[in-house]
Amino acid sequence: MKHKVLQTSPPVLVDIGASGAIHGKWKPIAKYSICIAFDADTRDFEVCESEDKGWRKLYSLNRLVASEAVEEMDFYLTHSPHCSSSLPPDQDGLKPWAFSPLFNVEEKVKLPAVDLTSTLSIADIDYVDAYKTDSQGADLRIFNSLSKDVINKILVTEFEPGIIDAYCGEDKLHQLMAYMDKLPFWVTNMEIKGSQRIDQKDLNSLNYFQKRSIGSFLRTAPGWCEISYLNNMEKGNMTIREYLLSWLFASLFNEHGFALYVAKKGFELSGDNLLLKLQKESLKKLSSGYYLLFLKLLKRLANLKS
């Protein structure tokens, strides 16, 4: 992170839907980075512009982000701040699910909406390196509002699209994956999350203890997905800066095989000796993984003999 190109142009990390806490995966590089975090629900979000919150610069903005800036947009404040959205909850679609009360609308308000490109311009930023969004149904349309030049140079993207009908007119997982298939990214991780399928009348007929332990006797069905992509680094306009950060993000995601590939390709194109050191670091990680596996196998053999 002390390389001159990263000192001049520090990592820019965008977090849309930062209710609760800003993305933990970015903590190791926070003090070197600029973070722009958005959330429209102030019940669980601090609004500030700061240089002393553990970041090189942190913009925490109580702003609704949309594909286009508008003076007023409906925003639905739900029982859980983490379910609030610019899209109305699909009450019929949610009815058969145990977690549907979290989506009960407590208030509908009018909020101004900003688009991401204009907000970055105001902050005098024209690039994004890491992009994480949990916009409750609008992940794809907001991402697609960025210019193709910006999108193609983003190094890591993380989305949380829906699988079931939770919001009216929401961007679904299958739509997002079809869109990303046409871009220079590959899937590094998918975690399927969900709820229990039970009608609210039947759920309400259970006693307190049954409700509290419903997850222990009803399986969790897929409801949404946390999906992460890394840039495949096949575009020809990548510079040493992007190769250094791509290696970093790949390493943070424990993708040490891809990190090794990035370090090798970056060195071939730039000749920067730091990338040679990064190759050795990736090889060390790969070797340590093999060593740990070998120890596990030895332990298993010892247990079998005993």
Co-location of 167 and 200 in the same domain: yes
Which of 8-22, 111-125, 151-165 is the least confident region?
8-22
The tens digit of pLDDT for each residue in 213-247 reads: 887 788 899 999 999 999 999 988 899 999 999 99
- Which H or E element spans position 198? none
The tens digit of pLDDT for each residue in 78-123 reads: 999 889 899 999 999 999 999 999 999 999 999 888 899 998 988 8
Name the pairing type of β-strands 130-133 and 48-50. unpaired
Co-location of 141 and 65 in the same domain: yes
The CATH number for 200's domain is 3.40.50
The tens digit of pLDDT for each residue in 256-267 reads: 999 999 999 999
For residue 45, the model assigns a pLDDT of: 40
0.75 cut: is pTM over it? Answer: yes
Co-location of 192 and 302 in the same domain: no
- Residue 129 pLDDT exceeds 90: yes
DSSP letters, 122-165, are: HTT----SEEEE--SS-HHHHHHTS-HHHHHH--EEEE--BSS-
- Residue 160 pLDDT exceeds 90: yes
Beta bridge partner(s), residue 153: none
- Residue 185 pLDDT exceeds 80: yes
For residue 182, the model assigns a pLDDT of: 96
Please give the share of the chain, as a percent, with pLDDT higher than 70. Answer: 91
Co-location of 21 and 56 in the same domain: yes
148 belongs to a structural domain: yes
First to last CA, the chain: 49
| Sheet of strand 130-133: strand arrangement | 48-50, 57-61, 34-38, 12-16, 130-133, 156-159, 221-231, 185-195
Number of domains in the chain: 2
27 belongs to a structural domain: yes
For residue 21, the model assigns a pLDDT of: 59
- Residue 287 pLDDT exceeds 60: yes
Co-location of 197 and 295 in the same domain: no
SS (H, E, C) 12-36: EEEEECCCCCCCHHHHHHHHHCEEE
Pull the structure tokens for residue 4: 């001159």
287 belongs to a structural domain: yes
If pLDDT is split at 50, 70 and 90, which confidence band does 47 have? very low
For residue 44, the model assigns a pLDDT of: 45
- Residue 193 pLDDT exceeds 60: yes
Co-location of 70 and 106 in the same domain: yes
Q: CB under 8 Å, gap of 24 or more: what pairs does 283-292 form?
A: 285/251, 285/256, 285/259, 286/256, 286/257, 286/260, 289/256
8 belongs to a structural domain: yes
Co-location of 135 and 183 in the same domain: yes
225 belongs to a structural domain: yes
Express the helix, strand and coil content of the chain in percent, nearest 5 each: 40, 25, 30
For residue 158, the model assigns a pLDDT of: 97
Structural domain range at position 303: 255-306
Average pLDDT of the residues in 205-214: 81
Cα gap 59→36, rounded to integer Å: 5
For residue 304, the model assigns a pLDDT of: 75
Co-location of 135 and 101 in the same domain: yes
User: What value, to the nearest 5°, has the Cα angle with vertex 47 and ends 44 and 50?
Assistant: 130
Which SS3 state, helix, strand or coil, does residue 194 take?
strand
Whether residue 45 contacts residue 18, with contact meaning beta carbons closer than 8 Å, is answered with: yes
For residue 61, the model assigns a pLDDT of: 82
248 belongs to a structural domain: no
Beta carbons within 10 angstroms of residue 220's beta carbon: 15
Co-location of 128 and 189 in the same domain: yes
If pLDDT is split at 50, 70 and 90, which confidence band does 288 have? confident
Co-location of 143 and 98 in the same domain: yes
Co-location of 194 and 63 in the same domain: yes
For residue 300, the model assigns a pLDDT of: 78
- Residue 74 pLDDT exceeds 70: yes
Which of 44-48, 185-189, 246-250 is the least confident region?
44-48
For residue 22, the model assigns a pLDDT of: 64
Strands annotated E in 62-124: 64-66, 70-78, 105-115
- Which H or E element spans position 227? strand 221-231
244 belongs to a structural domain: no
Average pLDDT of the residues in 6-31: 84
Co-location of 90 and 133 in the same domain: yes
Cα gap 6→139, rounded to integer Å: 28
276 belongs to a structural domain: yes
